[in-house]
Structure 1
């Protein structure tokens, strides 16, 4: 972990945190999902650097050590694409391979479509490619589905506001490590679905939890939720 370097890039009117390791012309950019930050990719970054690649992982606006946008609920995937292009220009990087998961997949797809001259390849996990246009998938989701709930104005803020940041992150990783999709009953919130006696998944340590919790204490989880749900929508 000590090999990873950290810098701040001032673009799009915001200060963006960027983690980086390795050197050379072959560049891989990692795009995180929710509730993640650059730290989610640390193992892959170190591995690629050892194989001769330059690995970069930014924190999105409103996440980790990056500045929050002035109006988080108005954040769109277009903002994330613009941020990423501006960061690449600042770092004087012309072409990259994108590796993305969760809601980071949509900006990766769109960056490749809109700016094919900047993208050598795309690897995504968790979210399939959906052609641009009006989204219809929300109408097929149950009311208690976590995306449906968190899209309601103020619902995520109220749900998370009952707990500290570390407990919220813990609950989310337990929920998302299950095979079942998080769906709450009418009289429940998403955070109520977690039995506090359930341990963390074996691949997510207490040290990891402390790292995420500390960074979300700074950025605020509701900002991250609002931004990512808008992107998914």
Structure 2
């Protein structure tokens, strides 16, 4: 991906990594999910640039090559939207198309609501728009559901800590590539659902996995477990969330 350039932008004392390619007048910003980083959008970035657009993909704070926040357990979707606004201001970009997948859709929706004058359009994959304070889905999740397990402070840390970062990412991608939802029985953890002999999904190469593994080895999973998995409970609470707090 030699066409993609990398730079760092200082935001609130943190060095945030941004990958960029293309020089078109219209700008597309790609927002990743978990367990992802800017690298997840590399092929789309090159294709969009070839079509005449400027393509940008940031690593959120605490992800990939970006610095972690001082207190990862206090990270929020608001941080992502604020960082995105600061990044666009720094780069002198007035308006963008937002393309997001997985939990990256949440800050994309929020950014469009908070800063409609900066958004030309929003494209999301996997996560529909749900207004804050209206969702009750988390109350019906089974105990062993992966989101439920990862929301419990300390549990995912202990589960992930039995493996190196590369193995954790490998196991998650294998689980997410299956048709069934990852649900662990009472006597097992989420990482136990993948056998060591299970091959990688056909769309994930050993080189790709090495890239993800190296960057999650650097960042760890503290911020990633907070945003989205633990913060999402606050996000859907009227008493704890507002667009400006």
CA positional deviation for 1:24: 2.5
Does residue 78 of structure 1 match 2:68? no
**1:226 alignment partner in structure 2:** 226
CA positional deviation for 1:228: 2.2
Q: CA RMSD in A?
A: 1.0
SS in 2 for 1:100: strand
Alignment of 1:43-192 (within 5 A): 43-133=43-133, 135-192=135-192
CA positional deviation for 1:135: 4.1
SS in 2 for 1:188: coil
Structure 2 segments unaligned to the other structure (5+ residues): 234-245
Q: How many residue pairs are counted as aligned between the two chains?
A: 233
**1:217 alignment partner in structure 2:** 217
CA positional deviation for 1:134: 5.6
Asked whether the 8 Å contact 1:160–1:222 carries over to 2, the reply is: no
**1:26 alignment partner in structure 2:** 26
Asked whether the 8 Å contact 1:76–1:230 carries over to 2, the reply is: no
- Equivalent-residue separation in structure 1 for 2:164 and 2:53 (angstroms): 38
| TM-score computed with the length of structure 1 as normaliser | 0.97
Asked whether the 8 Å contact 1:75–1:230 carries over to 2, the reply is: no
Asked whether the 8 Å contact 1:29–1:98 carries over to 2, the reply is: yes
SS in 2 for 1:70: coil
| TM-score computed with the length of structure 2 as normaliser | 0.93
- Equivalent-residue separation in structure 2 for 1:21 and 1:166 (angstroms): 27
Alignment of 1:189-200 (within 5 A): 189-200=189-200
